[in-house]
Amino acid sequence: MSEIVIAIIGGVFLVAAALVTYLGTRGKTNADAKAVLDARIDARVQSELSRVYTRLDEVEEAAVQRTSAFARILRSIARQWPNERGPDLDPSDISLIEDTIPPTWLRRAQPNNET
């Protein structure tokens, strides 16, 4: 009979040890899975941030070009205004800001009627 009790007590200890081991590694497994997920999220966020910063640089460069074109146009107008024909503006500057100028402001090329 004592052998059976000793075997039962040994079995209970083995089950308890297995349960403690399972519970101990379960938390570590969840922590490892969370760490892997966090690393994937961080990589995706970093990739997206890199893409956004690249796009912002492109937008900033276009804004600087447009602002420079405005400044050149205004300086050109100021220098040339006394001229009877009006200012002679650089077409490349006009093309940079063309979408911001109302169509009614644009001077259309007049056919040369001099005979």
**pLDDT tens-digit profile, the chain (115 residues):** 777 888 888 888 888 888 887 777 766 677 778 888 999 999 999 999 999 999 999 999 989 998 888 888 888 777 776 666 666 777 888 788 877 777 776 666 566 655 4
pTM equals 0.44
Nearest to residue 91, comparing CAs of 72, 64, 110, 75? Answer: 72
Tokens 């002679």 identify what position? 88
Nearest to residue 87, comparing CAs of 99, 95, 100, 77? Answer: 77
Round to whole Å and give the CA distance between 66 and 99: 11
For 38, half-sphere exposure in the C-beta direction (CA atoms, 13 angstrom radius) is 6
